[in-house]
Amino acid sequence: MLKVIVDLWCIACGASEDTALHTLEVCVAWEPQRRALSAVLGRDLSLPSVVRAMLDSERSWQAAVSFCEEVMTQKETAERAREDDASADPLRHKRMGVRRRRFAHLPLPRNNGVAGR
């Protein structure tokens, strides 16, 4: 069974929790990405507002996708660097499973795998 260790704190800014909301609206580390997103979506980056904007226009959808991709790429890079750090806690060394390796190169489906959109 794959055991996933979830960090509760934000490795980007040290805040006590790292949630989607923290990343989208609060974390100082993602200020440049947030500014680019706000330039397209407006100042209200609450989850309902972002979802509404994404469904409203292709441009907003792309802006949100870019934000997510950039943030996730940087978070994954930081996570890998931490895992590669020999002095890191051995519990943080996460082994990539067969399924994840097999599908890692594929882009995520835009419709989240739901047919008929």
**Which residues sit at the interface with Zn ion, rule CB under 5 A?**
10, 12-13, 15, 27
CA distance 102 to 98: 6
Of residues 15 and 36, the one with the C-beta less far from Zn ion: 15
Q: Of 13 and 61, which CB lies nearer to Zn ion in the complex structure? A: 13
At closest approach, how far in Å is the CB of 56 from Zn ion? 28
CB of 25 to Zn ion, least distance (A): 11
| Alpha-carbon span 31 to 19, nearest angstrom | 16
Is 13 or 36 the residue whose CB approaches Zn ion more closely? 13
